[in-house]
Amino acid sequence: MHSERYALPTILLHWLGAILIVAAFGLALALSGMHLSPLKFKMIAWHKWLGITVLGVTALRLLARLVWKAPAMPADMSPAMQRIAHLGHLALYLFMLAIPLSGWAMSSAYGIPIVYLAKFTLPDLIGANEALGAQLKTVHVLLNWTLAAIVAGHVLAALKHHFVDRNGLLWRMSPHAPKN
C-alpha cells in the first residue's frame, strides 16, 4: 500500500535541503577541531555558502508548499500522531530558517561579511558587536544540535512507518516510488 506522493519539485527540494544540511553540519564538526589555517578559512566560507543555500532552498520549499499541498496523512494515523507529525514538520522549517539566519547574524556581529560563492557580499543583519557575536555563536550551535535531534526523530518516524506500520509513508518523499 502506498500513500499519495508529494509533488516532484517538493521531493527534489526536500532531498537537496537534506544533503545541504548534512554537509553544513559535517563541515561545522570538522571545523570545530581545526587550528586556524588558510584551509580553515576556506572551509568556513564553504560552511557559510551552504547555510545561505539552505536558507534559499527552505524559502523555495515554503513557496512549493503553497503551490503543491502536502498529501493527507495515512488513515491509520491517530489524530494525536498527526498533530505530532505536523508540529515536527513545523519545527524542521523553523530551524531550517533560524539556523542560517543565526549564523548570518553571528558573522555580522563579528564584523565578518558573508561573500556568497566568493561573488556576492551579503548585507550585515546587525552591527558589529563581538560580545553579541559570541552569544549568537552559542545560539547557532544549540539550534544546530536541536535540529539534529529533530531530524533524527523525523528519520526514525519515517523508518517506523516503513518497516513497522508498512503504510507506504516513506515512499511519498521518494523520487523512485514503486508502483502500487
CATH of the domain at 85: 1.20.950.20
Which range of residues forms the domain containing residue 53?
8-70+80-173
pLDDT cut 90: percent of the chain above it: 87
Inter-residue contact 100 to 55 (CB < 8 Å): yes
Q: Say if 3 falls within a structural domain.
A: no
Q: pLDDT, tens digit, for every residue of 38-62?
A: 999 999 999 999 999 999 999 999 9
pTM of model > 0.75: yes
Distance, in Å, from the CA atom of 84 to the CA atom of 78, rounded to the nearest integer, reads 10
Q: What is the DSSP string of 76-135?
A: TS-HHHHHHHHHHHHHHHHHHHHHHHHHHHHHHHTT---EETTTEEPPPSS---HHHHHH
Residue 100 lies in a domain: yes
Residues 6+ apart with CB under 8 A from 98: 143
Count of H-run helices and E-run strands, the chain: 4, 2
* Mean pLDDT, residues 128-153 taken together: 98
DSSP 8-state class, residue 7: P
**Count of structural domains within the chain:** 1
171 is written with which cell numbers? 515512499
Residue 1 falls inside a structural domain: no
**Is 179 a residue whose pLDDT tops 80?**
no
**CA-based max dimension of the chain:** 57
Q: What is the pLDDT of residue 178?
A: 72
- Domain presence at residue 150: yes
Instruction: Evaluate whether residue 101 is within a structural domain.
Output: yes
In a domain, 110, yes or no: yes
What is the C-alpha separation between 20 and 131, in angstroms, rounded?
A: 29
